[in-house]
Structure 1
Amino acid sequence: MKTINHYFPSNQYYKEETKKKGIVLHHTVSGNSVAGDINWWKSNPQHVATCVIIGRDGKIHRLFSSKYWAHHLGIKRFHFKYFGLPSLNKKRNKEFIGVELDSWGGLVKRNGKYYSYTGREIDKDNVVYYKNEFRGYHYFEKYTDAQIKALYELLLYWGKYYNIPLNYKGEVMFKYNKRALSGEEGIWAHVSFRPDKSDIHPQEELIKMLKSL
């Protein structure tokens, strides 16, 4: 598994080795520009980042070692309180490795065309439709086959290296839920921890890959 290594300042993440119990899947809500994502994180003083971003072409971009950590969940006190849990955002960020898939995420349809929140038109062949909506959107930009393949390889590697169980958790993965917030080990999505997020969406090809791990 090849990675593209990037310079990422050590003051933008925490160079502290922590025990890993799970992996959280995100998407960037940005265009096909890994460099843009990295520069945005560099401009943010709050240590927000994930150790890896997977580009639309399936290339794995590594910012820092997965042994270390940065803030990628942003769980608020009231998110924990909803389930009667203690507020442990920092602990969850330390325990769970974050990985981003480059994607515009949720889209809107106007006059038969599809647009990102910035007004960027997205090719209809790259759009997936959810009849009953997902987190407020009927349409999302698809994750590419190359991204899903690269994510598969990465999950297998991390699963073996950190002894993380990779079994697919079913529909609960795509719902705001107590199991994730309680720190249950395994693979989760950002939506598992927060009701206000829409990453990742339950694309058929992605779920098929997760079931095959």
Structure 2
Amino acid sequence: MKTISHDFPDNQYYKEVTSKKGVVLHHTVSGDSVSNDIEWWKSSPERVATPIIIARDGGIHQLYSSQYWAHHLGITQNHFRQFGLPAINTKLNKEFIGVELDSWGALTSKNSKYYSFSGQEVKQNDVVYYEKGFRGYKYFEKYTEAQLTSLKELLIYWGDRYSIPLDFKGDSMFEFNKRALSGEKGIWAHVSFRPDKSDVHPQPELIEMLKTLK
């Protein structure tokens, strides 16, 4: 697997080897801008990052080894409390590898055009529509075919390296749920852990790819 390495400061993540039980899928809400994503994380002292960002051209950008960890979930005590669970945000950040897909994420529509939260127009061919909506939005920027191909390769690699089960979680993956918050092994989305997030959205091509893993 070919990766593009970046010089990411050691003080922006925890260089501590931890056991891994799963992967959490995120998107960046930044369009096609890996360099800006990295600079944003470097500007913050909270050590928020993921080891991998997948660009829209499918490039796999590696910031640090997946055996280490950084904060990427941001689960509050109230989120755990809703299911009567102990607050284990830090533990889950250590055990689950985060991976980001470069994307504007949720979009708004005006005069048959589509815009990101920052006002960036997104071409109609790059937009997916959810009739019933998803997390308060009906339009999202699509993850590209190249991104999904790279993500599949990455998930298979991590599944083998860390003995992570790759079975598709079904609708639960796109719902705020107790199984994820309890630390069930496997592949989850950020939305599985938090009701206030919209990454990743249930794009049909993403779901079909995930179904082919196992």
Q: Same fold (TM over 0.5)?
A: yes
Aligned: 1:64 with 2:79: no
Report the alpha carbon displacement of residue 31 of structure 1 after superposing the two structures with TM: 1.6
Aligned amino acid, residue 126 of structure 1: D
Structure 1: how far apart are the matches of 2:108 and 2:33? 21
Give a deviation string over 1:102-128, Cα, whole Å, max 9, x none. Answer: 000000000110000000000000000
1:10, distance to aligned residue in structure 2 (A): 0.3
**Structure 2 SS opposite 1:25:** strand
Does residue 118 (structure 1) correspond to residue 118 (structure 2)? The answer is: yes
1:205 offset after TM fit, Å?
0.4
**Aligned match of 1:155:** 155
Summarize the alignment of residues 1-213 of structure 1 with structure 2, pairs less than 5 Å apart. Answer: 1-213=1-213
Note the aligned Cα RMSD (angstroms). 0.3
Q: Partner of 2:154: helix, strand, or coil? A: helix
Aligned counterparts of 1:57 and 1:29: Cα–Cα separation in 2: 16
Percent pairwise identity: 69
Deviations 1:30-67 (A, max 9, x none): 02110000000000100000000000000000000000
Q: How many residues align?
A: 213
Structure 1 residue ranges without an equivalent (≥5):
none
Letter paired with 2:53: I
Query: Structure 2, unaligned stretches of length 5 or more?
Result: none
For each residue in 1:144-200, what CA deviation from the matched residue of structure 2 results, as whole angstroms up to 9, or x when unmatched? Answer: 000000000000000000000000010000000000000000000000000000000
| TM-score normalised to structure 2 length | 0.99
TM-score, scaled to structure 1: 1.00
Structure 2 counterpart SS, 1:161: helix
Q: Distance in 2 between matches of 1:58 and 1:24?
A: 18
Runs of 4+ aligned structure 1 residues displaced above 3 Å come to none
In structure 2, C-alpha distance between the alignment counterparts of 1:31 and 1:86, rounded to whole Å? 35
